[in-house]
Chain A
Amino acid sequence: MSTDLELIEAAKDGSVDAFTELVHAYRERLLRFLVTRCASFADAEDALQDTFINAYRYLHSYDPQWRFSTWLYRIAIRNAARHNRGNVTELGDIADSEGDPLSTCIKDSERTNLWSAARRVLSDEVYTAMWLRYAEDMSVNDISGALDRTSSWTKVNLMRGRQALEAEMNRDDSRSKAYG
């Protein structure tokens, strides 16, 4: 089994198959993220497709000092923003709508999925930082690279995001206890 770097080198030499292997490795992780960031499932799929096309087209500009996933996420964040800009939709606006792609992808559960709450209470960038930290286990440096922000900004906003979500979690827990 080849590593990411070997596949990237092969893809740079023109191997579509090597890049397709990379697509298979990352497509579901990216789609899960994009579903939480886009206004519809179709938008998320389009953003995923654009992400891989852009990544393949500009593969020569990939800097191996970053993880490949960081670079891919950086492209995906831009594509999600572009699709959302076209629809003039904010994440908070779609959180409760019927066509919300996130709610259709969440298992039925008694408690609220915290990512739904996160979309409601956090800004797009802070949401993304929280996702990369806790859903993708990225380091602060990688998150800063993906968001094109400083490490200080990332640390501060991760802390603020945590505080906001802890309040949401406690509210959700107390509501569950109250209704048995």
Chain B
Amino acid sequence: MDKLADRLRKDAADIHVEVSPELDNRIRASLAGVTPEAPRDERPRHPPWFWWASSLTGLAAAVAIIAIINTGGPTTPSSMPVAATQTDYALPELPALPLKAEQAMSISPLEQELSDIQSDLEKARQAVSEDVRQIF
């Protein structure tokens, strides 16, 4: 036993207290007037249908949210479109060009189709150039 612990024990024993009869009576009287609290169940009890009801409520809420999102109209832009660039001069109004387009039918081998399409494209380019030259 170390010296300090020994000294502390002795000094604690040197502190003399006595519970007076008055205090004893006070404690007895107080205890007689106290009702011990009943133990409380920490977990709240729910009726057996509680979990089913809460699950169904959650499911209904999810369905309602999905329905609201899907039935909403197309989104509208929040602001007016703004021109990317502004020009100081007015562009001349061009007349509508009569473009002749034919539907391509892919019935030949691919290489031949490609050469046909390229020759069609060249013809169209020449026609457009001719039209432009005639107009201006």
Contact = CB atoms under 8 A, between A and B. Distances in A.
A117 to B, nearest CB: 9
Interface stretch (A65-73, A90-98, A102-110): A102-110
Interface in B59-105: none
Given A28-B18, A31-B17, A60-B37, A23 B8 contact: no
Given A31-B19, A107-B16, A162 B31 contact: no
Contacts of B133: none
A130 B67 CA distance: 68
A106 B16 CA distance: 6
Contacts of A60: 36-39
B39 to A, nearest CB: 4
A115 B11 contact: yes
Given A45-B23, A105-B15, A134 B34 contact: no
B36 A59 contact: yes
B107 interface: no
- Most chain B CB atoms below 10 A, which of A106, A113, A130: A113
A65 B9 CA distance: 26
Interface stretch (A49-57, A80-88, A140-148): A49-57
Contacts of B9: 134-135
B36 A114 contact: no
Contact of A32 (B7, B17, B39): B17
A135 B26 contact: no
Interface in A156-180: 162, 165-166, 169
Given A58-B36, A60-B38, 20 more contacts: A16-B31, A28-B19, A31-B17, A48-B23, A52-B30, A56-B36, A57-B35, A57-B37, A58-B37, A60-B39, A102-B15, A106-B14, A107-B16, A109-B14, A115-B8, A130-B8, A134-B5, A134-B12, A162-B4, A165-B8
Interface of A: 11-12, 14, 16, 19-20, 23, 27-28, 31-32, 35-36, 45, 48-49, 52-53, 56-61, 102, 105-107, 109, 113-115, 130-131, 134-135, 162, 165-166, 169
20 contacts: A27-B27, A32-B15, A35-B15, A48-B19, A49-B26, A52-B27, A53-B30, A56-B34, A57-B37, A59-B36, A60-B36, A60-B37, A60-B38, A106-B14, A106-B15, A109-B14, A113-B11, A115-B12, A134-B8, A165-B8
Would you list the 9 A-B pairs with minimal beta carbon distance, nearest first? A135-B12, A134-B8, A60-B39, A114-B11, A113-B11, A31-B17, A32-B17, A107-B14, A105-B15
